[in-house]
Amino acid sequence: MIVDERTSRHEHVLDVARQMMTAARTAPKGKGIDLLEIAMITDGERNTLSNKMIAIAEETGMTFFLRDATNVLQAECIIIIGTRAKEQGLNCGHCGSPICGKRPHGVPCAINSVDVGIAIGSACATAADLRVDTRVMFSAGLAAQQLGWLTDCTQVYAIPVSASSKNPFFDRK
């Protein structure tokens, strides 16, 4: 049997993306409490995400959303990682408030922010180890958050994944 790389590439990228999700899940947590939600977007949902990004660009005037909307369509899949908001009760002051209970509404717990960042780094390191291309996107993450794809999550980021001759996420116009 001969298996051509071009015919097996898509399934390989999806397998890598599943490993990226596992790496994100098993990443260290600041207080050992797992508040992360992680999902993979494929097929038609890529179009939904891209269209939402275009709408955000039109609403806000942030044109980089348009560029990133094109990139989302160039990806084989997109990993989204977010955290549910929950203060950790450490009174660490990292969020700017010395007491958790006095943190202004809407200001995220810094421990939650760090946890989602570590998960993103772990997922991207896994992708690099397995030689697929990625880029962390605030824009696509915000669009996914507004679409409500990760229940009760804030601070959602997206990682498009590709395996092609040239990384489509760099040297962009």
Could you tell me which residue, 145 or 88, shows the higher pLDDT?
A: 145
Residue 140, pLDDT above cutoff 80? yes
Single out the residue of 42, 43, 46, 40 nearest to residue 17, CA to CA. Answer: 40
Could you tell me which residue, 3 or 35, shows the higher pLDDT?
A: 35
Token pair belonging to 79: 């990993």
Residue-wise pLDDT tens digits, 24-83? 999 999 899 999 999 999 999 999 999 999 999 999 999 999 999 999 999 999 999 999
Single out the residue of 92, 98, 81 nearest to residue 35, CA to CA. Answer: 81
C-alpha separations of 116 from 49, 73, 119 in Å = 20, 24, 5
Q: List b or e across 130-161, with b for residues whose CB sees 16 or more CB atoms inside 10 angstroms.
A: bebbbbbbebbbbbbbebebbeebbbbbbbbb
Q: How far apart are CA 25 and CA 19, in angstroms?
A: 10
pLDDT value for 109: 92
pLDDT value for 171: 80
Q: Tell me the percentage of the chain whose pLDDT exceeds 90.
A: 82
Q: How far apart are CA 138 and CA 34, in angstroms?
A: 21
pLDDT value for 91: 92
Residue 106, pLDDT above cutoff 90? no
**Which sign does the torsion angle of CA 47, 128, 139, 111 carry?**
positive
Single out the residue of 145, 138, 151 nearest to residue 37, CA to CA. Answer: 151
Q: How far apart are CA 77 and CA 74, in angstroms?
A: 9
Q: How far apart are CA 16 and CA 32, in angstroms?
A: 26
pLDDT value for 117: 97
Residue 172, pLDDT above cutoff 90? no
Contacts of 89 (CB under 8 A, 6+ apart): 100
At residue 167, the 3 state secondary structure works out as coil
Residue-wise pLDDT tens digits, 9-26? 999 999 999 999 999 999
Mean pLDDT of 86-93: 90
Domains of the chain by start residue, with CATH: 5-162 (3.40.109.10)
pLDDT value for 26: 97
The pTM of this model reads: 0.94
